[in-house]
Structure 1
């Protein structure tokens, strides 16, 4: 009798907790990209056709009710290589991995490996996010597109302002007494204290207008990126991004107009933060300044079709007599939604790199499919 009572009590306690099944989700984005090379004089030209897996990923996420106000949440997300995966020997590369608690009134706390709040601002304005193996999006030539290890993130609840919402996010990172370093799918900050490096954002959204501002302090990033350039030896010589901790201020805006038109913009400035682990070349950088404008048009008479275009440029200025490094990317494309999960797309673009009198131009054309599940 006692055994039966104990069993019944255990089952009642177990059944009283709400254990929701995790959601399996992901995205497969594969493109065929043609990039003719613009090598420096004396080097053989070599045009390349690439099959690119553009940040394809799979993941599990879920949320469990703890009390009437409190929920536990978790996410485990991994990049997968649909092409040959040559750039990474691992089948699954960690992306956003975290566990956390969400209070209906106080907000959400997450702990793990997570995209910075500043990086998340670009998602609403970058028309060519992840294209050409992530080199055509803002990560190709801008600082600030980072995922960080060993972080605690706080997300405020959405505060209502008439017909709009205001939301703040703060990420505190610990370098665990080491210098900055690139890891698998994320980077590590310098320092030993929680918050020696941080990222923050504030977002205003009323559906018609979306405005965001973010700030990174000592977050590892790439300066002087080469975008879609398909060779290290262009007409301006060797092009190799400079990895260093960055203090970055970013502002973004999106306006949804009538008849399916959306206008987008981004502006940011960055300076090098003096921490352990910086590329030695970072000491020569004065600052970096970039901006982006874009437009998107969903055809009213053919809702499956969307046309889009985007221009972005970034200037890295150096101390002393070294010339500025200017990068400009211009893209135009169209996408066709076959259904809610699958779309096809095609695009063309041009990268221009300039330093002093030297100039390199890199065109690209491509087509691909994106499937979300």
Structure 2
């Protein structure tokens, strides 16, 4: 941490001409969460959670009239307690022009970006990733991938596309065997007049040998839409996951809807409901999420909020609450049926 702080101090000491196109930015997001894991013997816990708090630098350098170098380095940090250090978030370097941008590094997949466009509780306790991003402990779709080469098109008449190739990463499994992960992700988005419609797809090769129970790849396809009048916003998402975590035949469908209504200049009430169907040969392993909240902007950069969140697990489901949130509410699995975690969260977000 001390080396990181020293680096930031050094950036501040450099001349303004050198850093004219470099921006230091960040977001601190803490919440007080009162949660219950939903079991017969569970009780309420109260914690302070840091939720995707971050700091980073980004910028560009003009090379020619129609070509610029672009870069971004972002770290996750814990703004609620000691320890944990810094974690790697999006970081890339590349080039951009009127033709779009080519980036290399570690970044969100285009399919993940589609889901974020309809998120009403992003990084909060009610984040839809509780349902969309996880299944039985496996990451399904909302990935930040390593070793990415991506192309982002310019927006033309409201339409844009993004394509990313995920190259071999050389990771090893628990036995020390090489576990290459290769694949691609893409999206196509149309945005105009308050309307957003987007479709995305990700295919990842797990490096496993295909058998009756395993397959070498998993796929996720998403369709998302939103309409914002300026006063009212409605959202919807459909997601299809196939061969989750390389498990042949473990497929599921996810549906979600949401809405938000502005109250005056500073307030907003919001709610969303997401459902995951059964996956694979098992029955009763689906779940639903409902989140209801109120946001209040104290300024352009500071927001406070309060929300209630409930996950309803089927008998054999293991969904937690808090996908994308710092502290997760683990479902109580000690009984004959899975617990239904719930919680109340009061938080503050400050951007700089």
Q: TM-score range by the shorter chain?
A: 0.7 to 0.9
8 Å Cα contact 2:30-2:51 kept in structure 1: yes
Match for residue 217 of structure 1?
203
The correspondence for 2:290, drawn from 330, 335, 346, is 330
**Pairwise CA distance, 1:289:** 0.9
- Cα distance, 1:68–1:189 mapped onto 2, change above 3 Å: farther
2:190 is the alignment partner of 1:204: yes
**TM-score of the aligned structures, taking structure 2 as reference length:** 0.79
2:115 is the alignment partner of 1:115: no
Match for residue 361 of structure 1?
340
**Pairwise CA distance, 1:144:** 1.3
Aligned residue runs from structure 1 range 226-237, under 5 A: none
Cα distance in structure 2, aligned partners of 1:323 and 1:334: 35
- Cα distance, 1:82–1:296 mapped onto 2, change above 3 Å: same
8 Å Cα contact 2:150-2:162 kept in structure 1: yes
8 Å Cα contact 1:318-1:324 kept in structure 2: no
**Pairwise CA distance, 1:190:** 3.0
Unaligned runs of 5+ in 1: 1-16, 182-187, 221-243
Match for residue 102 of structure 1?
96
Aligned residue runs from structure 1 range 316-355, under 5 A: 316-319=278-281, 322-355=282-315
2:219 is the alignment partner of 1:247: yes
Cα distance in structure 2, aligned partners of 1:253 and 1:316: 24
Would you say how many aligned residue pairs link Structure 1 and Structure 2?
A: 298
CA distances 1:314-355 after superposition (whole Å, capped 9, x unpaired): 124223xx2241111101110111010001100011111003
- Cα distance, 1:115–1:309 mapped onto 2, change above 3 Å: same
**TM-score of the aligned structures, taking structure 1 as reference length:** 0.74
8 Å Cα contact 1:138-1:145 kept in structure 2: no
Partner SS, residue 165 of structure 2: strand
Whose RCO is larger (CA < 8 A, sep 6+)? 2
The correspondence for 1:261, drawn from 212, 217, 232, is 232
